[in-house]
Structure 1
Amino acid sequence: MEPLRLTCGNILTLRAGGLVCPAHKHLVRGRGLSAQIYELGGPQLAADCKNLPECGIGEARITRAYNLPAEYLLHTVTPQWSSGDQWGAEALVQLRRCYQSVLDLARSKGIGTLLFPALGAGTNRFPHSIAAHQALEVLTKRAGEFQQLTVCLHTPAALAEWRRVKEDFFPDA
């Protein structure tokens, strides 16, 4: 089993110790994948989230996953892509910090397998090529610390873009 895997499909049907949820800073139901996770997680998930402190951009929080095929949810607040304007560099740092915070939290809780969506590439509008590069910069360096890290992309086109970035910039990973 390779430590870092890229795949395409419905992330909500895959099993892992931890599932990464793109989160709102108040840990309430968001849009896109977040909304689907909260719907499947049910009222217990929402109740758990109310008891957690606010989550800043790039930070991570953890809850049980309840009705999802993972044991834990790792919530992280991703930055908004600003089309590469003067705040673009900070957004890149914040997106990398999302991955680092999730990995640090998972490691501290003994979670060996993680499922990641393309953080930032959904409703926060990061282009997949940029989101992939930021993610893979962190994940390739830390994959050996885990049994498996899986990035599950929503479309074959997104998967192809992530694979291209991996081959072009991280060929030895």
Structure 2
Amino acid sequence: MTNLQLTCGDILTMSADALVCPAHKHLIPGRGLSAQIYDRGGEALAAACAQQPECAVGEARLTRAYGLPAKYLLHTVTPQWSSGDQWGVQALVQLRRCYQSVLALARQKGLGSLLFPALGAGTNRFPHSIAAHQALTVLTAEAGDFERVTVCLHTPAALGEWRRVQRRFFGEE
């Protein structure tokens, strides 16, 4: 059994050393999952985030996970999907960098279990097939450094798409 798992459910109810939060560059509440995380974390999370430096696209920051079953939040700013236009390649590189930065910070802090949402596939509109390929390129190569890496998808359809990408490009499920 691999330490990389794909599942479907409510990521906010799952426990791990760290939950990955899609973030705004100023670590203020965004939309979608980010807003839900900040709602649960309340003033304590807002205060912790206010102490962090600005976070550029593809970078990561760490705070405690106030009000959530995880111990920490790994915040990363994801790029906007631009429909594959001339900036599309840059967005793909930036999305991969989000995963790389989160994993590097998690290794540095000695974290063993990580929960990822489908970074970029929510309010930033990356198609799940493209988000999955970028994520799995990094996670497949680096998940062995951790006890458990879980990608939690919000719908069964999204989970199915990620599993199709995993089978087709990475030969596993």
TM bin, normalised by shorter chain, reads over 0.9
1:9-48 equivalences under 5 Å are 9-48=9-48
> Counterpart of 1:70 in 2: which secondary structure?
coil
Per the TM alignment, residue 77 of structure 1 is displaced from its structure 2 partner at its CA by 0.1
Cα shift readout 1:5-42 (whole Å, capped 9, x = no counterpart): 00000000000000000000000000000000000011
1:1-173 equivalences under 5 Å are 2-172=2-172
Kindly report structure 1 stretches of 4+ aligned residues shifted beyond 2 Å: none
Gaps of 5+ in 2: none
Letter matched to residue 145 of structure 1: D
Cα shift readout 1:99-125 (whole Å, capped 9, x = no counterpart): 000000000001000000000000000
Aligned partners of 2:58, 2:168: CA distance in 1, in Å?
Answer: 26
Letter matched to residue 124 of structure 2: N
Per the TM alignment, residue 172 of structure 1 is displaced from its structure 2 partner at its CA by 4.5
Per the TM alignment, residue 2 of structure 1 is displaced from its structure 2 partner at its CA by 2.9
**Alignment root-mean-square deviation, CA:** 0.8
Per the TM alignment, residue 164 of structure 1 is displaced from its structure 2 partner at its CA by 0.2
Aligned partners of 2:87, 2:96: CA distance in 1, in Å?
Answer: 15
Taking structure 1 as the reference length, the TM-score comes to 0.99
Cα shift readout 1:29-64 (whole Å, capped 9, x = no counterpart): 000000000000111000000010000000000000
Aligned partners of 1:47, 1:16: CA distance in 2, in Å?
Answer: 22
Aligned partners of 1:39, 1:2: CA distance in 2, in Å?
Answer: 33
Taking structure 2 as the reference length, the TM-score comes to 0.99
Aligned partners of 2:68, 2:58: CA distance in 1, in Å?
Answer: 23
Aligned partners of 1:158, 1:66: CA distance in 2, in Å?
Answer: 28
Paired positions, count: 173
> Counterpart of 2:72 in 1: which secondary structure?
strand
Per the TM alignment, residue 66 of structure 1 is displaced from its structure 2 partner at its CA by 1.4
> Counterpart of 1:16 in 2: which secondary structure?
coil
